Structure 1
Amino acid sequence: MTQTLELGLDTFGDVTTGPDGAPLPQARVIRDVVAEAVLADQLGVDFFGVGEHHRVDFAVSSPEIVLAAIAGQTSRIKLGSAVTVLSSDDPIRVFQRFSTLDAVSNGRAEVILGRGSFTESFPLFGFELSQYDQLFEEKLDLFAALIRQPSVTWRGAFRPPLVDQAVFPQTESAPLKTWIGVGGSPESVVRAARYDLPLMLAIIGGDPKRFAPYVDLYHRAFGELGRPARPIGVHSPGYVADTDEQAREELWPDYKRMRDRIGAERGWPPMGRAEFEAEADHGSLYVGSPETVAHKIATTVQALGVQRFQMKYSAGSLPHDKLMRCIALYGERVIPRVRELVG
């Protein structure tokens, strides 16, 4: 590979259960996420991502604040969102929050921008869902200007124009690393290339190799623009336990409840055990022993030629102690084995 492979972890701050089986308060879940990130840093995980949601089953609505708390207790791990819903936010405020995170973390901040697969932020912040695409395109255009220029002159349809406007704080040593999160839209892939930004593929179902055409499209788009391609990453769900059987049995009940809850909102049928097993065997669910998960990650990395893999280790109400064990196995055994396999 031409670049060093980075291996990270993502969480949406899924609301977990306590010893009595009842959901924990969201405040407790947020504190647990900080502890999980601190462990990941201690174990040499390269990146820790925190997602943004505005609903009862996920605790984190302000990833950058949680990440700032993590920055104060860690020293080396890169910290970013997974993802930031730019369409329903203000690009200037997003830039300021993450450039501030970059300052307090001594240059470790990143942001992954996306349109979001959940849409509750649109009515919450007063945006029209019918303008889903136009909002993202325009706000990304402004954000791309902010990360490259000390002052910006810009005009759009959804906010007043800017004339030679400086935005503070600026990042100290390098532009804020900004990824575009893509769930499977060719237009989004080309857009990332057009803005000269790294691509993060959200592969949450089916054979990961089906995303190979998007990787090819990304490289072709850069070729047509006459520029070298930026890094590509993959975000997928997973869970690690001591054995394959233990991992599947521990994950299955909570994964099904989470999937069925979201599926009911979107008109999907309930998830059966056969579908779960198929995703674990041949799809984009990285569940099993450290050896099994390492082999599956290495296969995806080599098949798609990506430079980063981020495993979403939280799933539904899986308790904090099991998540900590998963992180420990990922850092201590999965990451070294993947590096051996990839070479």
Structure 2
Amino acid sequence: MTDHSIDPTGAGDITLGLDTFGDVTNDAEGRPLTHGETIRGLVEEGVLADHVGLDHFAIGEHHTETMPLSAADIVLAAVASRTSHIRLGSAVTVISSDDPVRVFQRYATLDGVSGGRAEVILGRGSSTESFPIFGYDLNDYEELFEEKLDLFAELLREKPVTWSGNTRPSLDGLSIYPHSESGAIPTWVGVGGSPQSVVRTAKYGFSLMLAIIGGDTARFAPFSQLFQQALEKFGQPRRPVGVHAPGHVAATDEQAVEE
């Protein structure tokens, strides 16, 4: 997957990166790699991405035999220890079935390890295998996402948090540590095509990541305009828009097009 981020402020900045779900692949003899080999390969992929000058490297959360990346932040910390430039994040973190406090703490820790290079993309996820693993009911799908997104927005302020909801215990003036290097971890919300989700992302002041898994990419263009309009309506500063889309890498452009 490729990750393109565009700065809408007028500066015209475009950043390029790689997203991966950590799929298990085969070796030269056709033998499926072990989960450990797959994870170590991801570390090398992140190091190579930094070496060739890419801006971002992100790992999606999954909990399956063919995509065993259930702890992306640990893999990203390993990449951080061997890199110096590339920004490191999730693509996505399934916030609905996780604890927002622990997500914040893990990525604030990654931010410290990497010297301020951590980012996080929050999302519902394109699959739901994490819900039964952690004891969540899919009937609560909407409420889980809305409440946990709301709490994460409060945690990003890095001030004592008072919050209450139905999906986790309340917080009463509690401080959450560690603090990040920059004072605010760059946070995106992965949106798959819902205008309501675009507006909600703007409401919380997060950046927008358009998760294009398939179909015509042109249909996502109006969401960028809607996002900027919603930011203005909510009195939020302008935020970048990212595009997550399938990509193919080969030795040359010609070879990639042919394949």
Indicate the TM-score class for this superposition, using the shorter chain for normalisation: over 0.9
Match of 1:95 among 104, 109, 113: 104
Count of aligned positions: 250
Superposed CA offset, 1:13-50 (max 9, x none): 11010111121101101001100110110111000001
State the match for 2:207 in structure 1.
Answer: 198
- TM-score normalised per structure 2: 0.93
Identity among equivalent pairs (%): 60
Q: 1:50, 1:239 → 2: CA distance?
A: 17
Give 1:224-303 correspondences, 5 Å limit: 224-242=233-251, 246-247=255-256
Q: For residues 172-211 of structure 1, what are the structure 2 equivalents within 5 Å?
A: 172-211=181-220
Note the C-alpha offset of 1:242.
3.7
Structure 2 letter corresponding to 1:61: S
Please give the alpha-carbon distance, in whole angstroms, between the structure 1 residues aligned to 2:235 and 2:28.
57
How far apart are the structure 2 equivalents of 1:240 and 1:33?
A: 15
Once the two structures are superposed, residues 100-145 of structure 1 have per-residue CA deviations (whole angstroms, 9 ceiling, x without a partner) of: 0000000000000001111000001100011111101000100000
Q: Which residue identity does 1:148 align to in structure 2?
A: R
Matched position secondary structure for 1:18:
coil
User: Higher helix share goes to which structure?
Assistant: 1
- Matched residue, 2:91: 82
Contact 2:123 2:191 in 1 (8 A): yes
Per-residue CA deviation, residues 272-314 of structure 1 (Å, 9 max, x unaligned), is: xxxxxxxxxxxxxxxxxxxxxxxxxxxxxxxxxxxxxxxxxxx
Q: CA RMSD in A?
A: 1.4
Separation in 2, partners of 1:149, 1:234 = 28
Matches within 5 A, 1:6-155: 6-155=15-164
Give the whole-Å Cα distance in 1 for the aligned partners of 2:123 and 2:217.
Answer: 20
Structure 2 CA distance, aligned partners of 1:93 and 1:142? Answer: 12
Q: Structure 1 62/220 Cα, relative in aligned 2: closer, same or farther at 3 Å?
A: same
Query: 1:2 maps to which residue?
Result: 11
Question: Which range is displaced more, 1-10 or 88-97?
Answer: 1-10
CA shift in 2, pair 1:160/1:56, >3 Å: same
